[in-house]
Amino acid sequence: MSSLFAMDIQKLKGVGQKRGQLFEKLGAPTVGDLLRLYPRDYQDWTERLPIAQAPLGEVCVVRAEVLRVPSQVRLPGGKLLFRTTATDGETDMQLTFFNNRYIPKLLEEGRTYLFRGKMQRVKGSSAMTSPEFVPEEREQEIVPIYPATAGLGSRVVAGAVRNALALVPEAPGDPLPPALREEYQLCHLGYALENIHFPRSQTDLEIARRRLVFEEFLVLQLGLLQIKSGRREKNLHPVTGEYPEEFAELLPFRLTGAQQRAIAQGVQDMAGLSPMNRLVQGDVGSGKTAVAAALCWTVIQGGWQAALMAPTEILAAQHHQSLSALLGPAGVRCALLTGSLGAAKRRELLESLAAGEIHLVIGTHALISEKVAFHGLGLVITDEQHRFGVNQRVALAQKGASPHLLVMSATPIPRTLALMAYGDLDVSVLDELPPGRQTIETYLIDSAKRDRAFRYVQKHLDQGRQGYLICPLIEEGESGMMSVDAYAETVRGAFPHTAVGVLHGKMKPAQKEQVMEKFAAGDFGLLVATTVVEVGVDVPNAAIMLIENAERYGLSQLHQLRGRIGRGQYPSTCILISDNSSPETLERLRLFKSTTDGFAIADADLKLRGPGDFFGQRQHGLPQLKIASMTMDLDLLRQAQRCARRLFHSGGLEGEEYRKLRGEIQRLFAKTGGQRVAL
């Protein structure tokens, strides 16, 4: 089997050079890859229903005899239409076909066919329009549907797969050794390949799929475990294992239990034999920054430097401000490095950083730039990690000699998925919000009620609070949607006594920062903004948010936006404005209204959008799964996870019987790029 991965697809019977390129485009440059190009769907012709029992409006297969030669009707405009009747002996069914003049040749009177299509009722009788059909003696009954590309249809792919299957030896080398297959009741690879492509029955298909899903999860998990252990180098920055007591004294508040646990876990990691590799996961407002600060403080006490990378300039500036206010008085020297820093200042900063005079540098991805060098980088933190690729995380870490790594994420990923996405990290969960947090009320209204909403905003302003007004577009766009500037004018008109700031992504970083500073200082009562405020921005006095065209946002994005309020001691209100009445939108917005639980929202989002989107366009850097679904196959995922851990920790992967499995891991991760897999 593995040699088929060395066989160029062009060498396969019936493919050749031109088609070979199309196969390559489909992700099958070799015969081996083609065998692993699984159907995206199947047409099942096996379950046939009597015409009378076929559910209306659903695709089904019926077996029926054609009662008469199809008759031709010419419609005005020249279109051709054919009609005939077929029967299953009990019930008749009207058949209509458009624009296919071969119908009379293909459908013979007195012959029995299988028809596949949506059953309808027309004038009281059963009917199908343009069903697919085959003579009943057709042999293969579950038809694979392949991902197709221009010039390469599913049928051609199926043909090539048949030829490829013919090359698979009777008993191909199986990455899963017999003992493992037996333990988890998985079929042999040869059987699985045969039946995933051309299943004889739904049961065979299920058996094949189960095995392949398990294998894929197992390979993925083992790969992740290997990456993780690849970082099991020596800890070059061992801190003393104590919880940083003095740090607690710097804080204006008492740490929550969850924060204390996360800090203790991090400190313990950093005192261990190998570098820390940890994810801190906590919903918006759970206080991740304090955890980061504690760990920075610990590392800096040990005489090393720390770097914190944030996805936006606003956020970097904000972290810089709060961390230098917190740690500065204790003698920690902090600096801010973003793309907008002037050349002279930048040079100066880089020099002191390289000389070790700066203890903590906070910045955007500008930190990864080649020119940035450290004196002794002991800790790398990335905030809102889902915005960064694995590669960026690694690039920053390479500025030091195996520094400790901390990743902070506000995306409440369901646990199993977290294990998957961050399988190479240990996880701390901040499952407790700081005390005194107020609940956020959420309302959904249509734009006719905007005036009332504005009055409600005014009430909050009168009480000394501030608010965000979120507007979807920077520039004038589709009808009915205002640009930020136009909207800001409306807002200024409606709130004549309030200073209104404007913030959007196209502003210069320095401008953005200035606006944010003024808003944080209370100089602006209201901030009209696009989703640039979505990430991390922290102004506790802001207690009201209005989101215009709420239908334009995904659930997780809404959750991030709403996380900007309810951060202080004030009861907060979020008002969604939408005139969209599509049932899905309403369902989404109602669900959002009903809960502030990030995990519930993440779960719903996952169901609505699927994991691909969920992880932000594969930014996580994980290899793409070919058959397994992280949402549908959770049970197999858990089994494979357990199996992987056991194999890995018992050193069980080294034996000869796992040579093929090791090959699969290498193959899966070879395509990811940027990830080192030590095998």
Binding residues vs Mg ion (CB under 5 A):
536
Binding site partner of 256, from Mg ion, ligand ADP, none, Cβ cut-off 5-8 A by kind: ligand ADP
CB atoms within 10 A of CB 481: 15
Query: At its nearest, how many Å lie between Mg ion and the CB of residue 536?
Result: 4
Query: At its nearest, how many Å lie between ligand ADP and the CB of residue 438?
Result: 12
User: Smaller CB distance to ligand ADP: residue 84 or 256?
Assistant: 256
What 3-state class would DSSP assign to 83? strand
Query: At its nearest, how many Å lie between ligand ADP and the CB of residue 291?
Result: 8
What 3-state class would DSSP assign to 336? strand
User: Smaller CB distance to Mg ion: residue 393 or 662?
Assistant: 393
Residue 250 CA to residue 325 CA, distance in Å, equals 10
Cα angle 475, 479, 484; round to 5:
30
Query: At its nearest, how many Å lie between Mg ion and the CB of residue 366?
Result: 19
User: Smaller CB distance to ligand ADP: residue 142 or 291?
Assistant: 291
Helix (H) or strand (E) holding 51: none
Residue 611 found at the interface with ligand ADP (CB under 6 A): no
Residue 282 found at the interface with ligand ADP (CB under 6 A): yes
Residue 65 CA to residue 587 CA, distance in Å, equals 45
Residue 289 found at the interface with ligand ADP (CB under 6 A): yes
Binding test (CB under 6 A) with ligand ADP, winner from 216, 513, 538, 605: 538
By CB under 6 A, which span of 170-178, 249-257, 349-357, 416-424 interacts with ligand ADP? 249-257
Binding site partner of 323, from Mg ion, ligand ADP, none, Cβ cut-off 5-8 A by kind: none
Binding site partner of 117, from Mg ion, ligand ADP, none, Cβ cut-off 5-8 A by kind: none
Binding test (CB under 6 A) with ligand ADP, winner from 197, 288, 320, 512: 288
Residues 544-573 that bind ligand ADP (CB under 6 A): 567
- Lookup: tokens for 223: 């790969």
- Lookup: tokens for 355: 């000389």
SS3 letters for 259-315?
Answer: HHHHHHHHHHHHHCCCCCEEEEEECCCCCHHHHHHHHHHHHHHCCCEEEEECCCHHH
User: Smaller CB distance to Mg ion: residue 34 or 408?
Assistant: 408
Binding test (CB under 6 A) with ligand ADP, winner from 144, 172, 266, 285: 285
Residue 66 CA to residue 660 CA, distance in Å, equals 53
Rg of the chain over all Cα atoms, to the nearest angstrom: 31
Identity of residue 238: P
Residue 495 CA to residue 490 CA, distance in Å, equals 9
Residue 609, CB half-sphere, CA atoms under 13 Å: how many?
20
User: Smaller CB distance to ligand ADP: residue 226 or 318?
Assistant: 318
Binding site partner of 265, from ligand ADP, Mg ion, none, Cβ cut-off 5-8 A by kind: none
By CB under 6 A, which span of 64-72, 91-99, 252-260, 294-302 interacts with ligand ADP? 252-260
Residues near ligand ADP (CB under 6 A), total: 19
**Closest residue by Cα to residue 632 from 209, 215, 225, 198:** 209
Query: At its nearest, how many Å lie between Mg ion and the CB of residue 586?
Result: 31
Query: At its nearest, how many Å lie between ligand ADP and the CB of residue 406?
Result: 13
By CB under 6 A, which span of 159-167, 219-227, 250-258, 607-615 interacts with ligand ADP? 250-258
Query: At its nearest, how many Å lie between ligand ADP and the CB of residue 335?
Result: 20
Residue number of the CB atom closest to Mg ion: 536
User: Smaller CB distance to Mg ion: residue 33 or 538?
Assistant: 538
Binding test (CB under 6 A) with ligand ADP, winner from 192, 219, 290, 469: 290
Residue 677 CA to residue 670 CA, distance in Å, equals 8
User: Smaller CB distance to Mg ion: residue 266 or 536?
Assistant: 536
SS3 letters for 445-456?
Answer: ECHHHHHHHHHH
Residue 409 found at the interface with ligand ADP (CB under 6 A): no
> One symbol per residue from 496 to 535: x for binding ligand ADP (CB under 6 A), - otherwise; what is it?
----------------------------------------
Residue 164 CA to residue 156 CA, distance in Å, equals 12
User: Smaller CB distance to ligand ADP: residue 143 or 529?
Assistant: 529
What 3-state class would DSSP assign to 183? helix
Residue 490 CA to residue 508 CA, distance in Å, equals 24
- Lookup: tokens for 273: 């034999």
User: Smaller CB distance to ligand ADP: residue 408 or 421?
Assistant: 408
Binding site partner of 571, from ligand ADP, Mg ion, none, Cβ cut-off 5-8 A by kind: none
Backbone angles phi, psi at 132, to 5 degrees: -80, 155
Residue 20 found at the interface with ligand ADP (CB under 6 A): no
Contact 468, 533 (CB under 8 A): yes
DSSP letters for 515-573: HHHHHHTTS-SEEEE-GGGGSS---TTEEEEEETTGGGS-HHHHHHHHTTSS-SSS-EE
Residue 259 found at the interface with ligand ADP (CB under 6 A): yes
Q: Which residues bind ligand ADP (CB under 6 A)?
A: 253-256, 259, 282, 284-290, 410, 434, 536, 538, 540, 567
